[in-house]
């Protein structure tokens, strides 16, 4: 009698175990049927020109007006849809780039007789932002270095020239647009930056 009870108990446990495994397999099949594979997230590459100029969003152009502001390129800058500079101050930009796509040299025609083209040479920090510009002109040369705030905006420009002496310009930003780009700042006067974006 004890043997029969023991066999019944063992058989019951065996059946429960098999049933448990079978249910587990059914659950696995159901889980496999409903399993969805997520597409990998592809981060959009930011143009090196946007990084250089600390621009956010897909900027189409910007134009500065008001007091003097030392922009890295010019007072009016236009970009293609990939975010690369195509025109500066209404003229096709003569740019040289490194293997990262960063602008290393920008040359512009002076449009005055007997004067040579002038140019900037750019050096970058580890974040891809300009840390130094060497300006080479017909009448003077300058080295410009920059200090930035926590948002990457230039708050101080230090100017050194063997012929013109040294000076420092400070900038305070007072208005920003929805993208986080500055639209108004002050230095020796008020400066406005009008920005247009690609749709």
* 199 band by pLDDT with thresholds 50, 70 and 90: confident
Give the pLDDT confidence score for residue 191 in this predicted structure: 93
| Domain positions in the chain | 48-197
Q: Which of 117, 126, 156, 121 has the alpha carbon at shortest distance from 142?
A: 121
Q: What is the DSSP string of 134-188?
A: EEE-SS-EEEEEEEE-TTS-EEEEEEEETTTEEEEEE-EEEEE-TTS-EEEEESS
- Residue 47, Cβ density class (10 Å: 0-12 exposed, 13-18 middle, ≥19 buried): buried
Is the predicted pLDDT of residue 181 greater than 60, yes or no? yes
* 36 band by pLDDT with thresholds 50, 70 and 90: low
What's CA 110's distance to the chain center, in Å? 31
Give the pLDDT confidence score for residue 29 in this predicted structure: 54
Is the predicted pLDDT of residue 19 greater than 70, yes or no? no
Rounded Cα distance between 94 and 91, Å, is 9
Dump pLDDT digits (tens) for 55-93.
Answer: 999 999 999 998 777 688 989 999 999 999 999 999 999
Dump pLDDT digits (tens) for 92-145.
Answer: 999 999 999 999 999 999 888 889 999 999 999 999 999 999 999 999 999 999
């Amino acid at each position: 009698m004890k043997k029969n009870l023991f066999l019944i108990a063992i058989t019951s446990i065996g059946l429960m175990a098999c049933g448990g495994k079978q249910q587990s397999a059914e659950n696995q099949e159901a889980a496999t049927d409903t399993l969805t594979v997520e597409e990998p997230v592809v981060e959009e590459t930011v143009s090196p020109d946007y990084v250089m100029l600390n621009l956010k969003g897909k900027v189409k152009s910007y134009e500065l007006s008001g007091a003097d502001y030392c922009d890295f390129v010019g007072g009016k800058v236009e970009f293609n849809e990939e975010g690369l500079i195509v025109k500066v101050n209404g003229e096709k930009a003569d740019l040289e780039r490194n293997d990262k796509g960063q602008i290393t040299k920008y040359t512009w025609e002076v449009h005055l007789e007997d004067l040579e083209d002038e140019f900037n040479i750019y050096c970058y920090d580890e974040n891809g932002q300009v840390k130094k510009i060497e300006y080479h002109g017909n009448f003077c040369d300058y080295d410009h270095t920059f200090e930035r705030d926590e948002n990457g905006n230039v708050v101080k420009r230090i100017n050194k020239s063997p012929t013109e002496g040294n000076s420092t310009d400070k900038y305070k930003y007072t208005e920003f647009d929805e993208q986080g780009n500055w639209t108004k700042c002050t230095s020796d006067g008020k400066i406005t930056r009008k920005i247009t974006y690609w749709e």
